[in-house]
Amino acid sequence: MRASDTPRALGDLLSSASSRRAWEPEDTKSGARFERVVIDGERYVLKYQDPRDDWLLRATGDPGVRYVRLWEEGLLDRLPDEVDSAVVAAGFDGTVGMILLRDITADLLPPGRPFPPDQHARFLDHMAALHVEFWGWHDDVGLTPLGTRYRIFAPSVAGAEASLGSSAIVPKAMADGWDRLPEVSPTLTSLVMPLVEDPSPLVAALGTVPHTLVHGDWKAANLGSRSNGCTVLLDFGELSGEASPLADLSWYLALNADLLPESKDQAISTYRVALERRGIDTDLWWERALALELFGTMVQFGWEKALGGTGPELDWWEERATEGALWL
């Protein structure tokens, strides 16, 4: 649904609600608060953007406004027809951001099931559609800065959450994973640990490749398909911003590794073909951008691969990180 289709402001919509009750999705890991809302007989979900609850907002320095800005600046209205954010209204009351979404639970992926090949292919095709729509876009609305993307999962963030007494699961797993990485992968440790707290050399290198608007979190819990075939893509906001389009692709490969119906190398090719089919010439920048972004993904998720232990998955990322480091 586009902003132009929903002229009623968030406050008006919520004031007409016949039912509002607290709700905790099973797959939420950020600590964000949610409500189930009924308005005019239709079901919605209200997501709060409050750094007092949400460790991702704290880690990215977001006071709760970035998701709202995407709505207010019309960026969600510009999404290609292939992508549905489900957002119908948003607002910031000076303290807390609020995002009202259609309840599309029935359209989301079943937890833990491998992606069907045709759906996976559509995800990558629609990812390319999103990136092409915003090709060359530069952030002038204050979304998540490029450098922040690569510091979100740093040991210092895990330490800060521990000091706060945070109950968030992910920061605790981060701390465990970074502690294990030297034993599990000395190679990855030597490559990524110098950058996890100060990724400025990586950020500078990524500044030389094409940029677009990225969603930032193409993981299974945020994905689904409507009956018309378009892709449901939830949770714009915390990680959205200006970056290489391959930031979304490499994140998708890292966090959905166990669910992919084809190899990571095949998925990379599938996405590249989708870009080129939409008129993007990749010849001059692809090799550099891909190598750097796959390396950058290990600056973010080396801890997660360490928790998975040794094996083909870790080996693949070690090899990609080694290649990417050569481009710094």
- Take residue 202 and report the two structure tokens written for it: 């990586």
In this prediction, residue 1 carries a pLDDT of: 38
Contact 260, 267 (CB under 8 A): yes
Q: Return d(Cα 90, Cα 235) in angstroms, integer.
A: 13
Once rounded to an integer, what is the mean pLDDT over residues 263-285?
Answer: 98
The predicted pLDDT at position 147 comes to 94
Q: What is the pLDDT of residues 87-145, one digit of tens each?
A: 999 999 989 999 999 999 999 999 999 999 999 999 999 999 999 999 999 999 999 99
User: What burial class does residue 284 get, using C-beta atoms within 10 Å of its C-beta: 0-12 exposed, 13-18 middle, 19+ buried?
Assistant: exposed
Mean pLDDT over the full length of the chain: 95
Count of alpha carbons within 13 angstroms of residue 196, beta-carbon side: 22
If one compares 48 and 28, the residue with the highest pLDDT of the two is 48
Nearest one of 302, 301, 299, 296 to 244, comparing CA atoms: 296
pLDDT band at 182 (very low <50, low <70, confident <90, very high): very high
Q: Which amino acid is at 82?
A: E
**41 torsion bin: left (phi>0), alpha (psi -120 to 50), beta (else):** left
Instruction: Give the pLDDT confidence score for residue 241 in this predicted structure.
Output: 97
Residue range 286-308: mean pLDDT, rounded: 98
Q: How confident is the model at residue 8 (pLDDT cuts 50, 70, 90)?
A: low
Asked whether 313 and 257 are in contact (CB, 8 A), the reply is yes
State what percent of residues in the chain have pLDDT above 70. 97
Residue 6: what pLDDT? 44
The alpha carbon torsion through 147, 68, 58, 107 (nearest 10 deg) reads -90
Closest C-alpha among 319, 265, 307, 317 to residue 153: 307
* Percent share of the chain, pLDDT over 90: 93
pLDDT of residue 4 exceeding 50: no
Residue ranges and CATH numbers for the domains of the chain are 3-106 (3.30.200.20), 108-325 (3.90.1200)
Confidence grade of residue 314 (pLDDT, cut at 50, 70, 90): very high
pLDDT of residue 137: 98
Give the per-residue pLDDT at 78.
97
C-beta pairs of 185-190 under 8 Å, 24+ apart in sequence? 185/302, 185/305, 185/306, 185/310, 185/314, 185/318, 187/318, 187/321, 187/322, 188/298, 188/302, 188/305, 188/306, 188/314, 188/317, 188/318, 188/321, 189/302
Residue, of 68 and 25, whose pLDDT is higher: 68
CA distance 180 to 161: 19
* pLDDT range class, residue 55, cuts 50, 70, 90: very high
pLDDT at 5: 44
Query: What is the band of 70 on the pLDDT scale with cuts at 50, 70, 90?
Result: very high
Q: How far is residue 304 from each of residues 153, 188, 257, measured CA to CA in Å?
A: 10, 12, 11
Q: Please determine, for residue 272, whether its predicted confidence score (pLDDT) is greater than 70.
A: yes
